Structure 1
Amino acid sequence: MRTVGLLGGMSAESTTYYYQAMNRLVRERLGGLHSIQLLMWSVDFAPIAQMQADGDWNRAGEVLAQAAQRLERAGAEAIMIGANTMHLVADQVQAAIGVPLLHICDATADAVKAAGCSRPLLLATRFTMEKPFYRERLGASGVEASIPGEADRERLHAIIYDELCQGVVSTASKAEVLAMIARAGDADSVIFGCTEIGLLLAPDDVSAPVIDTALVHAAAGVDFALG
């Protein structure tokens, strides 16, 4: 088994979700007492979140690049960033290391197409929904994502940072997000494009096919580890 390095803590809630998913997948594939061979660097998210809010993406990229280098020196043979938004600095992280970075957008695009879809609704932080890095990478793979309206984007961003990242799961917020999906127009699928959204909604809550980015990214990490 190859060793995967995970940049976590963004947030700690979804990092736990990643760890459980990767170990479950390894156990399902190999059986018995098998588990993922994993190195993790968990950052303090508060300073990172402030850099995001300040638009200081270069500094945020430096923090993750340095952490990725530490994981590589410790023996990681590939790196994963356990957060959609922080893939805004994925190129900066990849340039700092000599091992591959397993990009969450690539795993997501593959999953959308495997579901027979091409026009997903992207639910995520405002950074991920509004900045071009994410939808452009999906588009390069033939996946044309749409996003909710302005008011829904603002509310969803608040739910992610003020609730889910802090371990708060609210039935009222769940109803709000389901209403956002119902307003989605002609989307043929839904991307849980923040790694915390799977803590709030289950695929069965949505009538359209769902791509939970944390789960498909975790599966990509396991594919690498066992490949």
Structure 2
Amino acid sequence: MIGLIGGMSWESSAEYYRILNQGIRERHGQTASARCLLWSFDFAEIEELQHRGDWVSLEALMIDAARRLEAGGAEVLLICTNTMHKMADAVQSAVGVPLLHIADATAEAVKTANITRVGLLGTAFTMEQDFYKGRLARHHGLDVIIPDAADRSTIHRIIYEELVAGQALPASRDAYRAIIARLVDDGAEAIILGCTEIMLLVRPEDSAVPLFDTTALHANAAISMALAD
């Protein structure tokens, strides 16, 4: 049983649900679907706490959700957002079932492709703080580069003002394309879409180098883990 800590935003959580069920169908037949539980937050509350910097309250909410999913029978947990992996270690310590870290699932795919230098797109929290890019570097030996301050501000704004509301605007796609091109010019061999909503906007044809969609990689890694168990 896969436990999903979602609703951050529900746009990407819906993608997790779709990928999990399609993956199980492909492996077990057209009537098969994923055994999963979803705890879905009101993202308005989460977003407010994030921008207030109240990570203590956010950590308590995440731990509570994880414990509820474990009590409901979840055997593996997924935090369905990159940013909230800021408290992944605390969540893992609070439960007795494994938490599948989104950065680990992504890094394994990057390493399998024999890529070592990656550009990272995500919220300002994900790009600027150490919890994510530091894990990619320390645990997996990846060289991570991020956009400059102006580009980080653009990426963050589009995520919170548009993508979490399900809006994929042509002008924003053009902005992301230009940012990706600048990262490639800086030496990025691939781009990690380190926000689970970015896949709503960016497609492979928008980049001259491979894109690694953390949403799909995380969900598919969960399928492999669940089926192995």
Q: Which residue of 1 aligns with 2:220?
A: 219
Q: Which whole-Å CA distance do the structure 2 matches of 1:204 and 1:115 have between them?
A: 18
Query: Please, which runs of 5 or more residues in structure 1 have no aligned partner?
Result: none
Q: Which residue of 1 aligns with 2:54?
A: 56
Q: Which residue of 2 aligns with 1:146?
A: 145
Corresponding pairs, count: 225
The structure, 1 or 2, with the larger RCO (C-alpha pairs under 8 Å, 6+ apart) is: 1
Note if 1:17 corresponds to 2:18.
no
Q: Which whole-Å CA distance do the structure 2 matches of 1:183 and 1:37 have between them?
A: 42
Q: Which residue of 2 aligns with 1:79?
A: 77
Contact 1:58 1:89 in 2 (8 A): no
Secondary structure of 2:199 counterpart: helix
Q: CA deviation at 1:220?
A: 1.1
Output the aligned Cα RMSD.
0.8
TM-score, scaled relative to structure 1? 0.97
Q: CA deviation at 1:32?
A: 2.0
Secondary structure of 2:74 counterpart: coil
Secondary structure of 1:186 counterpart: coil
Worse overlay, 24-33 or 187-196: 24-33
Residue identity matched to 1:171: P
Q: Which whole-Å CA distance do the structure 1 matches of 2:221 and 2:48 have between them?
A: 29
Q: Deviations over 1:73-127 (max 9, x none)?
A: 0000011000000000111111111101000010011011112211110000000
Contact 2:181 2:207 in 1 (8 A): no
Q: Which residue of 2 aligns with 1:202?
A: 203
Q: CA deviation at 1:206?
A: 1.6
Q: Percent identity?
A: 49
Secondary structure of 1:122 counterpart: strand
Q: Which residue of 2 aligns with 1:180?
A: 179
Q: Which whole-Å CA distance do the structure 1 matches of 2:225 and 2:37 have between them?
A: 14
Secondary structure of 1:49 counterpart: helix
Secondary structure of 2:66 counterpart: helix
Query: Please, which runs of 5 or more residues in structure 2 have no aligned partner?
Result: none
Secondary structure of 1:178 counterpart: helix
Secondary structure of 2:191 counterpart: strand
Q: Which residue of 1 aligns with 2:164?
A: 165
Residue identity matched to 1:209: P
Q: Deviations over 1:56-80 (max 9, x none)?
A: 1111010010011000000000110
Moved over 6 A (4+): none
Q: Which whole-Å CA distance do the structure 2 matches of 1:76 and 1:216 have between them?
A: 20
TM-score, scaled relative to structure 2? 0.96
